[in-house]
Structure 1
Amino acid sequence: MIRGSESDSWSRLGPLTFDEGTTAQAQVYARLRDALISGYFRPGEEISLRRASTALGTSVTPVREALRQLESDGGLEVFGGNRVLRVPVLSEAELIDIRDIRINLESLAAAQALDGIGPSQMRLISNACAVMQRAADTGDADLYLESNWRFHSLIYRAAARPILMGVIERMWLRVGPLIRLAVTAPNHFGRSMESHRAAELALRKRDASALQAAIIRDISDAASDLGRTLCDYGPAKVAGKA
């Protein structure tokens, strides 16, 4: 049974504990970005400025700027005559484009990350994989998706290619909300964990080819489930309109 609470997406956002040395806008952006990537919000869901500021425990100013940046990055879009800000609803063609971009960029980042992953980073990656496995075993979709992003981002950031990482993040921004629906696909957790365990093993063996193969398999399998989600639900249902 897949567990996950779509009703409390806003309560899971915060409130934020702001750190000195980083602007409030940057911290709000990072929190909202990770929430979108982890599937807190479903495709087509409206994102309210005031509701977000209340959930995060901050004024509307840093939230407004963060939402503008997310719109610029493709994580949100303006929709309808009332210019409502919402999570985009992707087409099948867009999913294929994103899949192909992810395969090329993430396999590149993974291979280049090997030299930057030392014992401490490896422990963090292995811990993320272990948390994913526990979440898969208990059907906890929320924890699974959060740990999934943590696992991948820890690997890619080790490549120390900030522009490349920025493009990868924007691709995840686009597909994260749909992945939240796709985890209900038959054996999604099982196939996904096979790829993640293979990637972890390849990292330990310093095997770039095996690591790239595991990343590509993970992206391809996820894309297949995403495509079936669109076919099963249709754009209107995915967007919560039917």
Structure 2
Amino acid sequence: MPVRDAVRRLVAERALAINPANKRLLVPSLTADRLEQLSLARLWVEPELAARAAARADTGLVRQLQAIDADLDEALRLGDVDRYMAANHAFHFALYERADAEILLAMAGGLWLQIGPFMRVVFGRVGADVLVADRHAEAIEAVKAGDADGARRAIAADLSEGMDKMRLAVEAAA
């Protein structure tokens, strides 16, 4: 029963789909239109979470983000895409959880469920070399300063650059 419930949740979150012809589970295709919608939704939700988190930040959060970012940088240095993906997720959600905005956090989680598998495939295919530019250091500095607008801008830029890389990969595959 727990597996059935998990599958239902993933279908409801649109991370999985059920083929009506044979009832098999599948990951929805990442089309240019779907990617555009996911990108737009992430840009509406995630920068706001970052801004709210910056207003509630303390030195513990700053240290946590710095440690995660150091691990992310090490993953990049080693070309370890799996480690990069885990650290990137940990960075974003450590920040977002501090926002104290459960509705927005749930929305961000659902968006990551939908985009995560495609990020893994795309970045696994192109390698960690294209991942070196992120805006995490800028976000950390904004959080450290309690600068909500700076955190919003840094995360928006981080998302835009990452989604642009995914868009180019989707277009190249088409």
Please say whether Structure 1 and Structure 2 have the same fold, judged by a TM-score greater than 0.5: yes
Identity %: 27
In 2, Cα distance between equivalents of 1:171 and 1:118: 27
Question: 2:155 — aligned with what?
Answer: 215
Question: 1:100 — aligned with what?
Answer: 40
Could you tell me which of 52, 75, 79 is aligned with 1:139? 79
Give unpaired runs (5+ residues) of structure 1: 1-60, 235-242
Could you tell me which of 188, 196, 208 is aligned with 2:130? 188
* 2:58 matches 1:114: no
Paired residue type of 2:101: R
Could you tell me whether the CA contact under 8 Å between 1:106 and 1:156 is conserved in 2? yes
Could you tell me which of 128, 131, 134 is aligned with 2:68? 128
In 2, Cα distance between equivalents of 1:186 and 1:125: 20
Q: What root-mean-square deviation, in Å, do the aligned CA atoms of Structure 1 and Structure 2 show?
A: 1.6
Could you tell me which of 90, 104, 110 is aligned with 1:164? 104
Q: Once superposed, which parts of structure 1, at least 4 consecutive aligned residues long, lie more than 6 Å away?
A: none
Could you tell me whether the CA contact under 8 Å between 1:181 and 1:229 is conserved in 2? no
Question: 2:18 — aligned with what?
Answer: 78
Question: What is the SS of the residue equivalent to 2:18?
Answer: strand
Question: What is the SS of the residue equivalent to 1:99?
Answer: helix
TM-score (norm 2): 0.92
Could you tell me whether the CA contact under 8 Å between 2:69 and 2:87 is conserved in 1? yes
Question: 1:200 — aligned with what?
Answer: 140
In 2, Cα distance between equivalents of 1:78 and 1:122: 41
Give the helix-richer structure, 1 or 2.
2
Could you tell me whether the CA contact under 8 Å between 1:102 and 1:219 is conserved in 2? yes
Could you tell me whether the CA contact under 8 Å between 2:54 and 2:151 is conserved in 1? no
Question: What is the SS of the residue equivalent to 1:82?
Answer: coil
Paired residue type of 1:137: R
Question: How many aligned positions are there?
Answer: 172
Could you tell me whether the CA contact under 8 Å between 1:114 and 1:208 is conserved in 2? yes
In 1, Cα distance between equivalents of 2:66 and 2:152: 17
Displacement of 1:197: 1.4
TM-score (norm 1): 0.67
In 2, Cα distance between equivalents of 1:196 and 1:218: 7
Higher relative contact order (CA 8 A, sep 6+): 2
